[in-house]
């Protein structure tokens, strides 16, 4: 039995007359009668009762029509969904991004994409980096905004360099300084993200290069929350400069080699992108860098 056979059954159920159903399907009455006989033989059941007024589904026919309507509906929805995904101008892109980019880089990128492809649909996934990479592998996300550049079969388009600052509470002893060194945080309670986060790898590398072991007091996976904890006097922290000052913290430019976070767009390089994802990526590449 083919999908078009199910459509023929549905036409018979709607019109309840072989001639009218055949006309709606663009076929002949004998062809439709043979199709019905073949389907009934395959299913081993009589589905329609014939009389002078036409054909009428019996209880077995009603059951079959319900299943046929469901199967045809699923197929038609699949075709519509695929058409949307495969259309570079009105398809769907699944974009994952780090929490720390939710109010800064992501809105700017989406603004640029909307201007150039207003019908493109973007499904957003806000999550930590150690969740983003498995999502890229499984296909739950096609593109991701992440830092640092991931290792492995990933494409990479650097978009923004974010300088890091040491943030301190209002009235802190370091506030009068114009710049800070990593050694200045050695005796302070330090607030940062937990191990396993890409930003923590960057921070640990900076301290190791400077020969400093920070005294970690609090760990939480959100940079905005870290800034708030510092503003409440619970320690000091290293964050991108844009986070400084939201709750009264004071940001001191960091005097350390490599004290910056590079944010980029990444994707699986071992599989071709869908047309909509390729369109999104091309727009972002044309708009980069984001200063």
Vertex 213: Cα angle to 98 and 172 (nearest 5): 80
Q: Which of 232, 228, 238, 163 is nearest to 200 (CA)?
A: 238
Q: Which of 160, 271, 258 is nearest to 205 (CA)?
A: 258
3-state class (DSSP) for residue 113: helix
Contacts 24+ apart (CB under 8 A), 212-217: 212/182, 212/183, 212/185, 212/186, 213/186, 214/185, 214/186, 214/188, 214/190, 215/186, 215/187, 215/188, 215/189, 215/190, 216/190, 216/191, 216/192, 217/189, 217/190, 217/191
pLDDT at residue 96 in the model: 96
Instruction: Record the tokens describing residue 91, joined without a space.
Output: 């398809």
Greatest Cα pair distance, the chain, in angstroms, is 99
How far CA 211 is from CA of 170, 179, 186, 263, in Å, comes to 27, 19, 10, 26
Instruction: Find out whether 119 and 89 touch, Cβ atoms under 8 Å.
Output: yes
Q: Which of 253, 246, 223, 249 is nearest to 236 (CA)?
A: 249
Tokens 């019908």 identify what position? 119
pLDDT at residue 266 in the model: 97
How is 5-29 classified by DSSP, letter by letter? Answer: HHHHHHHHHHH-SHHHHHHHHTS-H
Each of the 291 residues of the chain gets a pLDDT tens digit; together they read 899 999 999 999 999 999 999 999 999 999 999 999 999 999 999 999 999 889 999 999 999 999 999 999 999 888 877 776 677 888 888 999 998 888 889 999 999 999 999 999 899 999 888 889 999 999 889 999 999 899 999 999 999 999 999 999 999 999 999 899 999 988 899 999 999 888 999 999 999 999 999 999 999 988 999 999 999 999 999 999 999 999 999 999 999 999 999 999 999 999 888 888 999 999 999 999 998
Kindly report the backbone phi and psi dihedral angles of residue 232, in degrees, each rounded to the nearest multiple of 5, phi listed first: -85, 5
pLDDT at residue 84 in the model: 64
Query: Is this model's pTM higher than 0.75 or not?
Result: no
> How would you label 153-174 residue by residue, b for 16+ Cβ within 10 Å and e otherwise?
ebbebebbebebbbbbbeebeb
> Within a 10 A sphere around the Cβ of 193, how many other Cβ atoms?
26
The dihedral built from the CA positions of residue 195, 197, 203 and 205, taken in this order, carries a sign that is positive
How far CA 138 is from CA of 94, 120, 262, in Å, comes to 12, 22, 25
In angstroms, the CA 131 to CA 61 distance is: 49
């Amino acid at each position: 039995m083919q999908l078009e056979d199910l459509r023929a059954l549905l036409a018979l159920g709607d019109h309840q007359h072989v001639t009218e159903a055949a006309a709606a399907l663009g076929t002949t009455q004998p062809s439709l009668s043979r199709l019905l006989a073949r389907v009934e033989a395959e299913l081993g059941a009589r589905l329609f009762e014939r009389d002078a007024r036409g054909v009428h589904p019996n209880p077995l026919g009603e059951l079959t029509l319900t299943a046929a309507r469901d199967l045809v509906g699923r197929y038609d929805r699949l075709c519509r969904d695929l058409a949307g995904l495969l259309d570079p101008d009105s398809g769907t892109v699944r974009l994952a991004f780090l929490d720390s980019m939710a109010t800064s880089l992501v809105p700017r990128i989406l603004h640029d994409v909307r201007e150039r492809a207003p019908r493109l649909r973007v499904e957003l996934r806000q999550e930590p980096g150690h969740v983003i990479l498995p999502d890229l592998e499984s296909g739950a996300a096609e593109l991701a905004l992440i830092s640092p550049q991931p290792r492995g079969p990933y494409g990479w388009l650097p978009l923004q360099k974010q300088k890091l600052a040491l943030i301190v509470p209002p009235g802190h002893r370091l506030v009068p300084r114009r710049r800070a060194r990593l050694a200045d945080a050695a005796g302070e309670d330090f607030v940062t993200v937990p191990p396993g986060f890409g930003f923590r790898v960057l921070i640990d590398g900076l301290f190791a290069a400077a020969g400093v072991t920070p005294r970690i007091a609090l760990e939480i996976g959100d940079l905005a929350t870290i800034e708030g904890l510092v503003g409440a006097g619970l320690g000091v922290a290293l964050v991108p400069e844009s986070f400084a000052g939201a709750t009264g913290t004071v940001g001191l430019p960091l005097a350390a080699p490599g004290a910056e976070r590079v944010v980029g767009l990444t994707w699986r390089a071992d599989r071709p992108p869908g047309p909509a994802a390729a369109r999104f990526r091309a727009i972002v590449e044309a708009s980069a860098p984001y200063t």
